[in-house]
Amino acid sequence: MSKAIGIDLGTTYSAVSVMNETGKTEILDNQDGDKLTPSVVFFQSFDGKDEPLVGIQAKNLAAMQPENVVQYVKRQMGDPNWRFDSLNDISYSAEEISAIILRRLKDGAENALGEEVTDAVITVPAYFDDARRTATKQAGEMAGLNVLRVLNEPTAAALAYGVQNSKKETVLVYDLGGGTFDVTLMKIEDGNFNVLGTDGDRNLGGFDFDNALAMLISEKMEANGAKDVIIDPNFAGKLREQSEAAKRALTTVDKTNVFLDYNGKAYKINITREEFEKATTSLVERTQEILEDVINEAGVDWSEIDHVLLVGGSTRMPMIQRTLEQSLGRTIQYSINPDEAVAIGAAIQATLESLKNGDYVSEEVSKIAAQIKVSDVTSQALGVIATSSETGKEINSVIIPRNAKVPSKYTELFSTSVANQKSVNIQVTQGDDEDPVFVTIIGECELELPGNWAKGSTIKITFHYDIDQTVFVEVHDEYDKLIGQFEVERAANMNKQDLLISSRKIKELSID
């Protein structure tokens, strides 16, 4: 039986982890010998065929040939209108691009383990809605993976940090990655990872710190006689690359030199950590504001937070740790690499899933697994549009609340609004706002009624929500006689036929 892997499919970097026979998790080296793989795809063309490059090589080419490169595709997941067209005029969806990255990760894992890999757990941000979760799962399937589960990143981080064993704890996961900032407050109780609140900025991450540093460097170059550095498009890629490298250096040293050639002249720019921190104060303040909001909205006090978990490569920056410790009023434990925690948690979950499926795992591993319990909860409320009997206005009536355990089944009672009503239109919503304007209609079905009911007759609407995030709707009359049923087909996701076609397309690609 081959091992099940955990995959952190990140906006900027991805990682793969596995649990070995002794119950220890490790991050697998990729084909380039690195633990992290940039989530970047570069489209090479040979004989009219696309041959995508994934990872560090693709990232290195990004500055030179941006038109052939796809980055940050995670932001586009679940958006059926997003496309990337290669030089050969082949069009790719966000799922397909992600599948290319996942294929590379799968191949790398097989290399590292020396055996075939099919089973995997893939992580997603807590705020991902069902469409984006399904898109992620489908990307995995296209890559030839059997996706055991799509797992919340903060839950994965908590598993990696080992906080799941305790009885009842409030955990704050602070995730500052390459292109996004996510903060999630969770209550962990008896294996239930309940999200009390989650928010973030989808456009705030390490990238912005690179930009701030690039600005600082170009100002210093201009002070040394260079002209129009920051607006020179031919220099932007190089400048960004050097800025990121300098930023990483400043995490461990308090000053560094950046060497750059610009318009035939060599520049040596000295940057101190103090200057860098000053230039990025507003970015750190922004994360603090979001963080305070999440904590306040959840009605939790800083003193009630049992653990603060640092996730994302950007939390390595000393000012992030310092600022958080100031808010918390105590020191934070840094026991795991912040850019590996999510993948490690995914590997733990992958092992739990294998065990559940009856696959053989070693005695040590089953002992460890016996102590861990993770229940999935719904990320968003699901309901129907109903007419309020008091106001006559349309409202969103929640049937399955947010954070309900999955799988789940909930029934709500409604009543017909007129006598002899011929049919009932069921509009399935996602979101918990009462105002239909602020929720998404994810499916709709018109069901016929017998047509001879009195006004106010009972209609029972039941939602079944399963682990695969499919929603199944049943409608019964007051005597529990079935009137109709349907599965919600999500318009944002691919249907089975298209999924098959895409799977073939990805399978036939030669990916390096």
55 binds, among ligand ADP, Mg ion, none (CB under 5 to 8 A by kind): none
461 binds, among ligand ADP, Mg ion, none (CB under 5 to 8 A by kind): none
DSSP labels, 191-214: TEEEEEEEEEETT-SHHHHHHHHH
Cβ-based nearer residue to Mg ion, 343 or 374? 343
Q: Is 153 a catalytic residue?
A: yes
Q: Which of 96, 130, 153, 210 is catalytic?
A: 153
Where does this chain bind Mg ion (CB under 5 A)? 10, 177
Cβ-based nearer residue to ligand ADP, 170 or 314? 314
Nearest-approach distance from CB 377 to ligand ADP, in angstroms = 22
Nearest-approach distance from CB 11 to ligand ADP, in angstroms = 4
Nearest-approach distance from CB 321 to Mg ion, in angstroms = 17
Please state the φ and ψ torsions of residue 128, each to the nearest 5 degrees.
Answer: -60, 130
Nearest-approach distance from CB 33 to ligand ADP, in angstroms = 17
The Cβ of residue 284 has, within 10 Å, a number of other Cβ atoms equal to 18
145 binds, among Mg ion, ligand ADP, none (CB under 5 to 8 A by kind): none
The Cβ of residue 125 has, within 10 Å, a number of other Cβ atoms equal to 24
Beta strands in 284-439 (DSSP E): 307-311, 376-377, 382-387, 394-400, 405-406, 408-415, 423-430
Cβ-based nearer residue to ligand ADP, 8 or 96? 8
As a whole number of angstroms, the longest Cα–Cα distance in the chain is: 87
**Token representation of residue 321:** 């740790």
Cβ-based nearer residue to ligand ADP, 30 or 502? 30
The Cβ of residue 65 has, within 10 Å, a number of other Cβ atoms equal to 14
Q: Is 466 a catalytic residue?
A: no
Q: Which of 3, 50, 59, 74 is catalytic?
A: 74
Nearest-approach distance from CB 73 to ligand ADP, in angstroms = 11
Residue 2 is given by DSSP the state P
Q: Which of 50, 95, 141, 175 is catalytic?
A: 175
Q: How far from chain centre, in Å, is Cα 21? A: 28
Cβ-based nearer residue to Mg ion, 129 or 175? 175
6 binds, among Mg ion, ligand ADP, none (CB under 5 to 8 A by kind): none
CB distance 104 to 112 below 8 Å? no
Separation of first and last alpha carbons in the chain = 27
**Token representation of residue 272:** 């101190």
Where does this chain bind ligand ADP (CB under 6 A)? 10-13, 36, 177-180, 205-207, 244, 247-248, 251, 312-314, 316-317, 339
Distance CA 202, CA 340 (A): 20
Residues recognised as catalytic: 8, 74, 153, 175
